[in-house]
Amino acid sequence: MSQDPEYQFILRNGLRPWNELCSDMKLKGYNETRTIECIAEQLCKAVQCYYKLLSERSCSLREHISELFSIANNLDKVSKGTKIAGITGGATGVAGGVAAAGGVTGASAAIAHKVNTTQDKKKLDKIFQDYDNLMKDIMFCLKYINTGFELLKEKGSSTLNQARRDLGNLSKVIDLAATGGASAKAIEANSKASGLIEGFALGMDFYFTQGKDGQSVKRGLESKFAKKIRKLADQLRKGFQELLQIKTLFKKCCPEE
């Protein structure tokens, strides 16, 4: 348990694992209102941690998503450039007398293709690794918050209504737990995005061929590969927007410090 990354995240951020907190409250004989108060206080701490993580990582996450769109655009340009070079080479051959110019154009396009698409493979590998690392703690935090909301909901509406009258500002946390679903939706969206990255990375080799200077996109597959990258980037963007929306929702119960 002590080596579990999620457990380490909880401890590192001054939070308490829910099972330990619940056991402790039971041993101390806390009544329902006091138990709900402790859970709500812990949730507010976790929400502040979420704000901090988003503040630190939002810029990098946005940049990685933008990079994916840029790589897709680059591949489309390479695809169009290769086609144009092929047409130019063919036309000069038919015209005669200037076939060498077509050959130079074709050779230049081939070199540009190799350089551009080889760099894209390295960029994609780095983006996927970085994005995964940036998202891990955010997802741990959201899961922790979601579990806390579920613990509150288990108390039942009548118990929560009674506690709400006694807890002042913390009553807003109870209100958010009662509405529920928002954090779970954000977790689902970003878990889906994470799964798409993993699946994409596993299937990426299909689009690449190994050369002496490294892997480059197979000629003729640039546009198809660009479409898949663009689709992935769009899913990541939607997942990121869910993270921002839930931050806005959290602010209704826990103002950012």
Helix (H) or strand (E) holding 173: helix 171-179
What's the pLDDT score for residue 165?
Answer: 86
| Mean pLDDT along residues 65-76 | 92
For the chain, how many structural domains are there in total? 1
Asked, for residue 56, whether it belongs to a domain, the answer is yes
User: Do 39 and 144 form a contact (C-beta atoms < 8 A)?
Assistant: no
Separation of alpha carbons 25 and 35, rounded Å: 7
Asked, for residue 240, whether it belongs to a domain, the answer is yes
Asked, for residue 164, whether it belongs to a domain, the answer is yes
Asked, for residue 106, whether it belongs to a domain, the answer is no
Distance of CA 106 to CAs 86, 88, 99, 101, 112, Å? 6, 8, 11, 9, 10
| Mean pLDDT along residues 221-243 | 92
Residue 180 has pLDDT above 70, yes or no: no
What's the pLDDT score for residue 92?
Answer: 42
Domain that holds residue 143: 5-79+117-250
- Number of residues written out for the chain: 257
Cα of first residue to Cα of last residue in the chain, in angstroms, is 31
% of the chain residues with pLDDT over 90: 46
- List pLDDT tens digits, range 123-164: 898 999 999 999 999 999 999 999 999 999 999 888 888 888
Asked, for residue 222, whether it belongs to a domain, the answer is yes
Asked, for residue 257, whether it belongs to a domain, the answer is no
pTM above 0.85, yes or no: no
Cβ contacts of 251-254, under 8 Å, gap ≥ 24: 252/172, 252/176, 253/44, 253/47, 253/172, 253/173, 253/175, 253/176, 254/43, 254/44, 254/47, 254/48, 254/172, 254/173
